[in-house]
Structure 1
Amino acid sequence: MRRIGLKFALTVIASLAGAGPVMAGESAAVRNCTWCHGTNAQGYTVAPRLAGQRSLYLESQIRSFRDHVRDTPFSKQYMWNAVAALPPDVAHDLARYFAAIPPKPANDGDRNYAAKGRSIYMEGIPEANIAACYACHGPNAEGIRDIPRLGGLSHDYLKTRLQQWGQGYHSTAGSPMPLVARTLGPDEIEALTSYLSFLN
Protein backbone atom coordinates (compact mmCIF):
# COMPACT_ATOMS: atom_id res chain seq x y z
CA MET A 1 0.00 0.00 0.00
CA ARG A 2 1.36 3.41 -0.98
CA ARG A 3 2.48 5.50 1.99
CA ILE A 4 0.26 8.48 2.61
CA GLY A 5 2.03 11.80 3.17
CA LEU A 6 2.80 12.40 6.84
CA LYS A 7 0.98 15.68 7.21
CA PHE A 8 -2.13 14.45 5.46
CA ALA A 9 -2.25 11.19 7.41
CA LEU A 10 -1.75 12.85 10.77
CA THR A 11 -4.33 15.52 9.98
CA VAL A 12 -6.92 12.91 9.01
CA ILE A 13 -6.31 10.80 12.11
CA ALA A 14 -6.42 13.77 14.44
CA SER A 15 -9.56 15.18 12.84
CA LEU A 16 -11.27 11.80 13.20
CA ALA A 17 -10.39 11.93 16.89
CA GLY A 18 -11.99 15.36 17.18
CA ALA A 19 -8.74 17.26 17.58
CA GLY A 20 -10.13 20.45 16.06
CA PRO A 21 -8.78 22.69 13.31
CA VAL A 22 -5.18 22.44 12.17
CA MET A 23 -3.00 25.51 12.56
CA ALA A 24 -1.13 26.64 9.46
CA GLY A 25 2.09 24.68 8.93
CA GLU A 26 1.42 22.26 11.78
CA SER A 27 -0.25 18.85 11.71
CA ALA A 28 -2.91 18.21 14.31
CA ALA A 29 -1.25 15.04 15.62
CA VAL A 30 2.10 16.77 16.06
CA ARG A 31 0.30 19.59 17.85
CA ASN A 32 -1.43 17.03 20.10
CA CYS A 33 2.01 15.73 21.11
CA THR A 34 3.47 19.18 21.73
CA TRP A 35 0.57 20.23 23.96
CA CYS A 36 2.14 18.03 26.64
CA HIS A 37 5.72 17.68 25.39
CA GLY A 38 6.25 21.41 24.88
CA THR A 39 6.84 23.87 22.08
CA ASN A 40 9.14 22.27 19.52
CA ALA A 41 8.84 19.08 21.62
CA GLN A 42 11.47 20.28 24.12
CA GLY A 43 9.56 18.81 27.07
CA TYR A 44 8.13 19.85 30.40
CA THR A 45 8.93 18.58 33.88
CA VAL A 46 6.62 15.56 33.72
CA ALA A 47 6.53 15.10 29.93
CA PRO A 48 9.94 14.32 28.44
CA ARG A 49 11.60 16.07 25.54
CA LEU A 50 10.91 14.29 22.26
CA ALA A 51 13.15 16.54 20.17
CA GLY A 52 16.34 14.76 19.19
CA GLN A 53 15.28 11.49 20.78
CA ARG A 54 16.21 8.26 18.99
CA SER A 55 13.50 7.44 16.47
CA LEU A 56 13.72 3.70 17.14
CA TYR A 57 13.32 4.36 20.84
CA LEU A 58 10.26 6.56 20.28
CA GLU A 59 8.67 3.81 18.19
CA SER A 60 9.43 1.19 20.84
CA GLN A 61 7.84 3.35 23.54
CA ILE A 62 4.72 3.91 21.45
CA ARG A 63 4.44 0.12 21.19
CA SER A 64 5.00 -0.20 24.95
CA PHE A 65 2.20 2.29 25.65
CA ARG A 66 -0.09 0.57 23.17
CA ASP A 67 0.63 -2.88 24.64
CA HIS A 68 0.34 -1.54 28.23
CA VAL A 69 3.89 -2.58 29.07
CA ARG A 70 4.92 0.93 30.13
CA ASP A 71 2.75 1.11 33.20
CA THR A 72 3.52 4.22 35.25
CA PRO A 73 0.52 6.26 36.45
CA PHE A 74 0.98 8.98 33.79
CA SER A 75 1.42 6.31 31.11
CA LYS A 76 -1.92 4.79 32.04
CA GLN A 77 -3.67 8.13 32.40
CA TYR A 78 -2.42 9.80 29.22
CA MET A 79 -0.36 7.72 26.82
CA TRP A 80 -2.28 4.44 26.67
CA ASN A 81 -5.28 6.16 25.10
CA ALA A 82 -3.18 8.63 23.11
CA VAL A 83 -1.54 5.89 21.03
CA ALA A 84 -4.29 3.24 21.08
CA ALA A 85 -5.42 3.92 17.49
CA LEU A 86 -2.10 5.14 16.08
CA PRO A 87 -1.17 3.06 13.00
CA PRO A 88 2.43 1.76 12.90
CA ASP A 89 3.33 3.77 9.79
CA VAL A 90 2.13 7.00 11.40
CA ALA A 91 3.99 6.17 14.63
CA HIS A 92 7.10 5.63 12.51
CA ASP A 93 6.69 9.00 10.79
CA LEU A 94 6.04 10.79 14.08
CA ALA A 95 9.16 9.24 15.60
CA ARG A 96 11.30 10.36 12.66
CA TYR A 97 9.76 13.84 12.78
CA PHE A 98 10.60 14.38 16.45
CA ALA A 99 14.04 12.78 16.16
CA ALA A 100 14.97 15.36 13.50
CA ILE A 101 14.24 18.39 15.75
CA PRO A 102 17.44 19.79 17.34
CA PRO A 103 17.29 19.20 21.12
CA LYS A 104 18.02 21.76 23.82
CA PRO A 105 19.38 20.84 27.26
CA ALA A 106 16.98 21.24 30.18
CA ASN A 107 19.73 22.73 32.39
CA ASP A 108 17.59 22.18 35.48
CA GLY A 109 19.86 20.00 37.59
CA ASP A 110 22.10 20.96 40.51
CA ARG A 111 25.56 21.86 39.19
CA ASN A 112 27.08 20.96 42.55
CA TYR A 113 26.20 17.33 41.80
CA ALA A 114 27.22 17.30 38.14
CA ALA A 115 30.82 16.12 38.62
CA LYS A 116 29.72 13.16 40.74
CA GLY A 117 27.02 12.40 38.17
CA ARG A 118 29.54 12.39 35.34
CA SER A 119 31.68 9.93 37.29
CA ILE A 120 28.72 7.58 37.74
CA TYR A 121 27.75 7.91 34.09
CA MET A 122 31.25 7.28 32.73
CA GLU A 123 32.62 4.82 35.31
CA GLY A 124 29.60 3.25 36.98
CA ILE A 125 29.76 2.23 40.63
CA PRO A 126 32.03 -0.84 40.68
CA GLU A 127 31.50 -1.62 44.37
CA ALA A 128 27.74 -1.84 43.76
CA ASN A 129 28.19 -3.80 40.52
CA ILE A 130 26.65 -0.95 38.48
CA ALA A 131 28.03 -0.68 34.96
CA ALA A 132 28.87 2.65 33.37
CA CYS A 133 25.81 4.21 31.75
CA TYR A 134 27.75 5.18 28.64
CA ALA A 135 28.14 1.50 27.70
CA CYS A 136 24.50 1.49 26.58
CA HIS A 137 23.58 5.16 26.19
CA GLY A 138 26.77 6.38 24.47
CA PRO A 139 29.64 8.58 25.69
CA ASN A 140 27.61 11.77 25.30
CA ALA A 141 24.31 10.20 26.42
CA GLU A 142 23.12 10.44 22.82
CA GLY A 143 21.58 6.96 22.78
CA ILE A 144 22.24 4.04 20.46
CA ARG A 145 19.67 2.45 18.14
CA ASP A 146 16.55 1.93 20.30
CA ILE A 147 18.34 2.86 23.54
CA PRO A 148 17.27 6.41 24.43
CA ARG A 149 19.13 9.67 24.40
CA LEU A 150 19.42 10.86 28.01
CA GLY A 151 21.49 13.98 27.43
CA GLY A 152 19.58 17.15 28.17
CA LEU A 153 16.43 15.53 29.50
CA SER A 154 14.88 17.22 32.51
CA HIS A 155 16.49 16.38 35.86
CA ASP A 156 13.05 16.04 37.45
CA TYR A 157 11.79 13.74 34.70
CA LEU A 158 14.86 11.49 34.83
CA LYS A 159 14.77 11.40 38.61
CA THR A 160 11.11 10.37 38.59
CA ARG A 161 11.76 7.64 36.01
CA LEU A 162 14.62 6.14 38.03
CA GLN A 163 12.49 6.22 41.16
CA GLN A 164 9.60 4.55 39.31
CA TRP A 165 11.85 1.80 37.97
CA GLY A 166 13.11 1.27 41.50
CA GLN A 167 9.48 0.85 42.61
CA GLY A 168 8.93 -1.86 39.99
CA TYR A 169 7.31 0.02 37.11
CA HIS A 170 8.26 -1.01 33.57
CA SER A 171 9.06 0.70 30.28
CA THR A 172 10.06 -1.87 27.67
CA ALA A 173 9.93 -5.64 27.97
CA GLY A 174 13.32 -6.96 29.02
CA SER A 175 14.74 -3.56 30.02
CA PRO A 176 17.51 -3.78 32.64
CA MET A 177 16.57 -0.40 34.10
CA PRO A 178 14.36 -1.60 37.00
CA LEU A 179 17.27 -3.69 38.27
CA VAL A 180 19.78 -0.86 37.79
CA ALA A 181 17.53 1.72 39.46
CA ARG A 182 17.03 -0.40 42.57
CA THR A 183 20.77 -0.23 43.25
CA LEU A 184 20.99 3.58 43.10
CA GLY A 185 20.64 5.65 46.27
CA PRO A 186 18.95 9.09 46.40
CA ASP A 187 22.25 11.00 46.22
CA GLU A 188 23.43 8.94 43.26
CA ILE A 189 20.15 9.53 41.43
CA GLU A 190 20.37 13.26 42.17
CA ALA A 191 23.93 13.41 40.86
CA LEU A 192 23.33 11.36 37.73
CA THR A 193 20.16 13.16 36.68
CA SER A 194 21.68 16.58 37.41
CA TYR A 195 24.66 15.78 35.17
CA LEU A 196 22.48 14.52 32.34
CA SER A 197 20.28 17.61 32.35
CA PHE A 198 23.20 19.80 31.27
CA LEU A 199 24.21 17.69 28.26
CA ASN A 200 22.98 18.40 24.76
Structure 2
Amino acid sequence: MKRIGLKLAILAMVASTVPAAADDRAAVRNCTWCHGAEAQGYTVAPRLAGQRPQYIMSQIQSFHEHTRDNPFSRQYMWNAVATLSQYDVRDLANYFASIRPKPANDGDSALAAKGKRIFMQGIPEANVVSCYACHGPDGEGVRDIPRLGGLAYFYVKGRLEQWGQGYHSTAGSPMPLVASHLGPEEIEALASYLSFVR
Protein backbone atom coordinates (compact mmCIF):
# COMPACT_ATOMS: atom_id res chain seq x y z
CA MET A 1 0.00 0.00 0.00
CA LYS A 2 2.83 2.40 0.84
CA ARG A 3 4.40 1.66 -2.54
CA ILE A 4 1.12 2.53 -4.30
CA GLY A 5 0.76 5.71 -2.26
CA LEU A 6 4.25 6.72 -3.32
CA LYS A 7 3.47 5.96 -6.98
CA LEU A 8 0.29 8.08 -6.79
CA ALA A 9 2.28 10.94 -5.28
CA ILE A 10 4.91 10.64 -8.01
CA LEU A 11 2.21 10.56 -10.69
CA ALA A 12 0.69 13.71 -9.21
CA MET A 13 4.04 15.51 -9.32
CA VAL A 14 4.78 14.33 -12.86
CA ALA A 15 1.31 15.24 -14.07
CA SER A 16 1.65 18.76 -12.72
CA THR A 17 4.92 19.35 -14.57
CA VAL A 18 4.39 17.56 -17.90
CA PRO A 19 3.24 19.97 -20.62
CA ALA A 20 0.39 19.05 -22.93
CA ALA A 21 1.46 16.90 -25.88
CA ALA A 22 2.09 18.62 -29.19
CA ASP A 23 -1.08 17.08 -30.63
CA ASP A 24 -3.13 18.76 -27.88
CA ARG A 25 -4.04 15.54 -26.05
CA ALA A 26 -4.68 16.01 -22.34
CA ALA A 27 -1.60 15.83 -20.10
CA VAL A 28 -1.04 12.85 -17.85
CA ARG A 29 -3.31 13.16 -14.82
CA ASN A 30 -3.30 11.64 -11.40
CA CYS A 31 -5.95 8.94 -10.94
CA THR A 32 -7.39 10.71 -7.92
CA TRP A 33 -8.12 13.91 -9.79
CA CYS A 34 -10.91 12.20 -11.71
CA HIS A 35 -11.65 9.08 -9.70
CA GLY A 36 -11.54 10.69 -6.25
CA ALA A 37 -9.16 10.45 -3.31
CA GLU A 38 -10.86 7.23 -2.15
CA ALA A 39 -11.38 5.95 -5.72
CA GLN A 40 -15.18 6.24 -5.30
CA GLY A 41 -15.48 8.13 -8.58
CA TYR A 42 -17.63 11.01 -9.69
CA THR A 43 -20.56 11.19 -12.06
CA VAL A 44 -18.40 11.08 -15.21
CA ALA A 45 -15.43 9.06 -13.90
CA PRO A 46 -16.19 5.59 -12.54
CA ARG A 47 -15.40 4.34 -9.08
CA LEU A 48 -12.32 2.14 -9.15
CA ALA A 49 -12.71 1.05 -5.54
CA GLY A 50 -13.56 -2.64 -5.38
CA GLN A 51 -13.24 -3.07 -9.12
CA ARG A 52 -11.85 -6.36 -10.43
CA PRO A 53 -8.06 -6.09 -10.87
CA GLN A 54 -8.18 -8.06 -14.12
CA TYR A 55 -10.78 -5.63 -15.45
CA ILE A 56 -8.70 -2.57 -14.52
CA MET A 57 -5.65 -4.10 -16.20
CA SER A 58 -7.60 -4.98 -19.35
CA GLN A 59 -9.07 -1.47 -19.56
CA ILE A 60 -5.68 0.19 -19.14
CA GLN A 61 -4.45 -2.02 -21.97
CA SER A 62 -7.47 -0.95 -24.04
CA PHE A 63 -6.68 2.71 -23.35
CA HIS A 64 -3.04 2.09 -24.26
CA GLU A 65 -4.01 0.34 -27.50
CA HIS A 66 -6.76 2.93 -28.21
CA THR A 67 -9.38 0.19 -28.37
CA ARG A 68 -11.55 1.92 -25.78
CA ASP A 69 -12.53 4.80 -27.99
CA ASN A 70 -15.30 6.83 -26.38
CA PRO A 71 -14.70 10.61 -26.16
CA PHE A 72 -13.53 10.75 -22.49
CA SER A 73 -11.16 7.84 -23.06
CA ARG A 74 -9.57 9.59 -26.02
CA GLN A 75 -9.43 12.94 -24.24
CA TYR A 76 -8.10 11.80 -20.87
CA MET A 77 -7.19 8.15 -20.50
CA TRP A 78 -5.18 7.43 -23.63
CA ASN A 79 -2.51 9.89 -22.57
CA ALA A 80 -2.85 9.18 -18.83
CA VAL A 81 -1.75 5.55 -19.21
CA ALA A 82 0.88 6.09 -21.88
CA THR A 83 3.88 5.90 -19.53
CA LEU A 84 2.63 3.26 -17.08
CA SER A 85 4.73 0.10 -16.93
CA GLN A 86 3.11 -3.32 -16.66
CA TYR A 87 4.17 -3.34 -13.00
CA ASP A 88 2.52 0.03 -12.36
CA VAL A 89 -0.66 -1.23 -13.99
CA ARG A 90 -0.69 -4.40 -11.87
CA ASP A 91 0.03 -2.49 -8.65
CA LEU A 92 -2.63 0.14 -9.31
CA ALA A 93 -5.20 -2.52 -10.22
CA ASN A 94 -4.53 -4.47 -7.01
CA TYR A 95 -4.60 -1.30 -4.94
CA PHE A 96 -7.97 -0.12 -6.28
CA ALA A 97 -9.42 -3.62 -5.91
CA SER A 98 -8.48 -3.60 -2.23
CA ILE A 99 -10.54 -0.46 -1.42
CA ARG A 100 -14.08 -1.09 -0.17
CA PRO A 101 -16.58 0.40 -2.64
CA LYS A 102 -19.56 2.50 -1.61
CA PRO A 103 -22.77 2.63 -3.67
CA ALA A 104 -23.43 5.91 -5.47
CA ASN A 105 -27.14 5.85 -4.50
CA ASP A 106 -27.89 8.47 -7.13
CA GLY A 107 -30.39 6.74 -9.42
CA ASP A 108 -34.17 7.09 -9.57
CA SER A 109 -35.43 4.78 -6.82
CA ALA A 110 -38.80 4.48 -8.60
CA LEU A 111 -37.03 2.74 -11.49
CA ALA A 112 -34.86 0.42 -9.38
CA ALA A 113 -37.30 -2.51 -9.39
CA LYS A 114 -37.58 -2.45 -13.18
CA GLY A 115 -33.79 -2.19 -13.46
CA LYS A 116 -33.31 -5.15 -11.15
CA ARG A 117 -35.74 -7.21 -13.24
CA ILE A 118 -33.74 -6.41 -16.41
CA PHE A 119 -30.46 -7.11 -14.64
CA MET A 120 -31.63 -10.49 -13.33
CA GLN A 121 -33.86 -11.69 -16.20
CA GLY A 122 -32.76 -9.75 -19.27
CA ILE A 123 -35.26 -8.79 -21.94
CA PRO A 124 -35.99 -12.04 -23.79
CA GLU A 125 -38.25 -10.40 -26.40
CA ALA A 126 -35.38 -8.05 -27.35
CA ASN A 127 -32.79 -10.86 -27.31
CA VAL A 128 -31.01 -9.32 -24.29
CA VAL A 129 -29.63 -11.83 -21.80
CA SER A 130 -29.51 -11.07 -18.10
CA CYS A 131 -26.65 -8.83 -16.97
CA TYR A 132 -26.24 -11.16 -14.01
CA ALA A 133 -25.11 -13.98 -16.33
CA CYS A 134 -21.78 -12.18 -16.90
CA HIS A 135 -21.52 -9.62 -14.09
CA GLY A 136 -22.64 -11.83 -11.19
CA PRO A 137 -25.84 -11.79 -9.09
CA ASP A 138 -24.82 -8.69 -7.16
CA GLY A 139 -23.06 -6.97 -10.04
CA GLU A 140 -19.73 -7.83 -8.41
CA GLY A 141 -17.99 -8.74 -11.66
CA VAL A 142 -16.05 -11.85 -12.61
CA ARG A 143 -12.35 -11.89 -13.60
CA ASP A 144 -12.04 -9.24 -16.35
CA ILE A 145 -15.78 -8.55 -16.44
CA PRO A 146 -16.36 -5.38 -14.41
CA ARG A 147 -18.10 -4.76 -11.14
CA LEU A 148 -21.26 -2.76 -11.87
CA GLY A 149 -22.77 -2.68 -8.39
CA GLY A 150 -22.72 0.81 -6.94
CA LEU A 151 -21.48 2.67 -10.02
CA ALA A 152 -22.90 6.16 -10.50
CA TYR A 153 -26.17 6.38 -12.42
CA PHE A 154 -24.82 9.01 -14.82
CA TYR A 155 -21.72 6.96 -15.60
CA VAL A 156 -23.59 3.69 -16.33
CA LYS A 157 -26.20 5.52 -18.39
CA GLY A 158 -23.49 7.26 -20.41
CA ARG A 159 -21.56 4.06 -21.07
CA LEU A 160 -24.67 2.16 -22.20
CA GLU A 161 -25.60 5.03 -24.52
CA GLN A 162 -22.06 5.15 -25.95
CA TRP A 163 -22.00 1.40 -26.57
CA GLY A 164 -25.37 1.74 -28.30
CA GLN A 165 -23.77 4.38 -30.55
CA GLY A 166 -21.00 1.91 -31.48
CA TYR A 167 -18.14 2.91 -29.18
CA HIS A 168 -16.00 0.07 -27.80
CA SER A 169 -14.33 -0.91 -24.55
CA THR A 170 -12.20 -3.95 -25.35
CA ALA A 171 -11.79 -6.02 -28.47
CA GLY A 172 -14.52 -8.61 -28.67
CA SER A 173 -16.73 -7.07 -25.99
CA PRO A 174 -20.42 -7.92 -26.47
CA MET A 175 -21.55 -4.62 -24.90
CA PRO A 176 -22.05 -2.57 -28.10
CA LEU A 177 -24.40 -5.29 -29.40
CA VAL A 178 -26.20 -5.68 -26.07
CA ALA A 179 -26.63 -1.94 -25.56
CA SER A 180 -27.97 -1.48 -29.10
CA HIS A 181 -31.04 -3.50 -28.02
CA LEU A 182 -31.74 -1.33 -24.97
CA GLY A 183 -34.14 1.58 -25.18
CA PRO A 184 -33.80 4.81 -23.17
CA GLU A 185 -36.22 3.56 -20.50
CA GLU A 186 -34.33 0.30 -19.99
CA ILE A 187 -31.04 2.20 -19.75
CA GLU A 188 -32.50 4.59 -17.18
CA ALA A 189 -33.83 1.69 -15.12
CA LEU A 190 -30.60 -0.34 -15.23
CA ALA A 191 -28.42 2.64 -14.36
CA SER A 192 -30.74 3.58 -11.51
CA TYR A 193 -30.82 0.06 -10.06
CA LEU A 194 -27.06 -0.45 -10.23
CA SER A 195 -26.37 2.80 -8.37
CA PHE A 196 -28.05 1.33 -5.28
CA VAL A 197 -26.37 -2.10 -5.36
CA ARG A 198 -23.88 -2.66 -2.53
Give the structure-1-normalised TM-score. 0.88
Q: What one-letter code is carried by the residue in structure 2 that aligns with 1:164?
A: Q
Deviation per residue, 1:120-147 (Å, 9 max, x gap): 0000011111101000000000000000
Q: In structure 1, what is the equivalent of residue 20 of structure 2?
A: none
Displacement of 1:14 in angstroms is: 5.4
Q: Which runs of 5+ in 2 are unaligned?
A: 18-28
Alignment of 1:186-197 (within 5 A): 186-197=184-195
Q: What one-letter code is carried by the residue in structure 2 that aligns with 1:180?
A: V
CA RMSD, 1 decimal: 1.6
Q: In structure 1, what is the equivalent of residue 45 of structure 2?
A: 47
Q: What one-letter code is carried by the residue in structure 2 that aligns with 1:135?
A: A
Displacement of 1:38 in angstroms is: 1.3
Q: How many percent of aligned residue pairs carry the same amino acid?
A: 68
Q: In structure 2, what is the equivalent of residue 159 of structure 1?
A: 157
Q: What one-letter code is carried by the residue in structure 2 that aligns with 1:32?
A: N
Displacement of 1:7 in angstroms is: 4.7
CA distance in 2 between counterparts of 1:54 and 1:106 reads 18
Regions of 4+ moved over 2 Å = 5-15, 17-20
CA distance in 2 between counterparts of 1:111 and 1:19 reads 40
**Structure 1 position 185 matched with structure 2 position 183:** yes
For residue 44 of structure 1, give the secondary structure of its aligned residue in structure 2. coil
Q: In structure 1, what is the equivalent of residue 55 of structure 2?
A: 57
Give the structure-2-normalised TM-score. 0.89
Alignment of 1:32-43 (within 5 A): 32-43=30-41
Q: Is the 8 A contact 1:106 1:198 kept in 2?
A: yes
Displacement of 1:13 in angstroms is: 5.7
Residues 1:9 and 1:50: Cα distance change in structure 2 (over 3 Å): closer
CA distance in 1 between counterparts of 2:113 and 2:92 reads 35
**Structure 1 position 171 matched with structure 2 position 152:** no
Q: Is the 8 A contact 2:8 2:30 kept in 1?
A: no
Alignment of 1:17-28 (within 5 A): 17-19=14-16
Q: Is the 8 A contact 1:10 1:90 kept in 2?
A: no
Q: What one-letter code is carried by the residue in structure 2 that aligns with 1:153?
A: L
Q: In structure 2, what is the equivalent of residue 149 of structure 1?
A: 147
Q: In structure 1, what is the equivalent of residue 23 of structure 2?
A: none
Q: What one-letter code is carried by the residue in structure 1 that aligns with 2:99?
A: I
Aligned length: 185
